[in-house]
Amino acid sequence: MDRLPAPIDPVPDPWPPRGLVLRTPRLELRPDDDGSVRELVTMLHATGVHPASEMPFAVPWTDADPRYLGRGVAQYFWSERARTGPESWALHLVVRRAGRVIGLQSLTADRFGLLRGVHTGSYLGIRYQGAGYGTEMRAAVLAFAFDHLGATTARSDYVEGNGASATVSHRLGYRADGTSLNAARGVREVQHRLLLTPAEFVRPGWEPVVEGYTGELAGFLGAEPPRGG
């Protein structure tokens, strides 16, 4: 008769990011789950994230047929969760203001345990733009990456003409790190790359409140252990 494997005590959390929360003076950021993705899709349909005449993203995902946009967004998040692990990970943090989903702030990395570099990307519903939320949510993940994960570099990029993204980056201390070419809608455009280090980071005068950053999550990301842990 086959023996059952010995029980593990305690049982490891199969998805350590689930308990992570970042809080800023006005915002709350939590990793995506199916419920928050549905709220995000509702926000995308209600307000959109850019005028139809513009394309601020290197991949024109917002050009999808509105009938299938929600399905595509959900499938993207599922695929990102499926690939996430110490060698390559993505924390897609759904951003809420007073309980309402207003956007997304992503923090991604490859071989973080060795390279110690992260990349950020984000978007906000049109009706929530221009109120400083973009700076606040990116400052939150940068402080988390530098102060908790042990990141030594953070990168971002923006399409030429995307003044809002460029303004947030320059406000937080990024410096130019070259350009590349892109053609999101079949039109040649310049993509500006930016680089930030902990010493150059222009801190906002507050620190995010970080909850749920456990030893299991640190190991899952190949990052520094929690303070005092």
CATH no. for residue 62? 3.40.630.30
Q: Does residue 178 form part of some domain?
A: yes
The residue with greater pLDDT, 22 or 227, is 22
Q: Does residue 224 form part of some domain?
A: no
Q: pLDDT value at position 50? A: 95
- Average pLDDT score over residue span 83-97: 97
pLDDT tens for residues 58-68? 888 999 999 99
In contact, 153 and 219? CB cutoff 8 Å = no
Q: Does residue 8 form part of some domain?
A: no
Residue whose structure tokens are 């009938």: 67
Q: Does residue 7 form part of some domain?
A: no
Q: Does residue 9 form part of some domain?
A: no
* Phi, psi of 74, deg, nearest 5: -60, -45
Q: Does residue 140 form part of some domain?
A: yes
- Average pLDDT score over residue span 183-211: 95
Q: pLDDT value at position 184? A: 85
Burial class (CB in 10 A: 0-12, 13-18, 19+), 14: exposed
pLDDT tier at 92, thresholds 50, 70, 90: very high
| Percent share of the chain, pLDDT over 70 | 97
Check whether 144 has a pLDDT greater than 90.
yes
Q: Does residue 65 form part of some domain?
A: yes
Q: Give the Cα separation of 4 and 9 in Å (integer).
A: 15
- Average pLDDT score over residue span 156-184: 94
Q: Give the Cα separation of 4 and 193 in Å (integer).
A: 53
Q: pLDDT value at position 229? A: 58
**Where in the sequence is the domain holding 166, given as residue range(s)?**
16-217
The whole-chain average pLDDT of the chain stands at 94
Q: Does residue 11 form part of some domain?
A: no
CA 20 and chain centroid, separation = 13
Q: pLDDT value at position 174? A: 98
Q: pLDDT value at position 13? A: 86
- Average pLDDT score over residue span 106-132: 97
How many distinct structural domains can be found in the chain?
Answer: 1
CA 202 and chain centroid, separation = 19
Extract the tokens encoding 66.
């509105």
Q: pLDDT value at position 8? A: 65
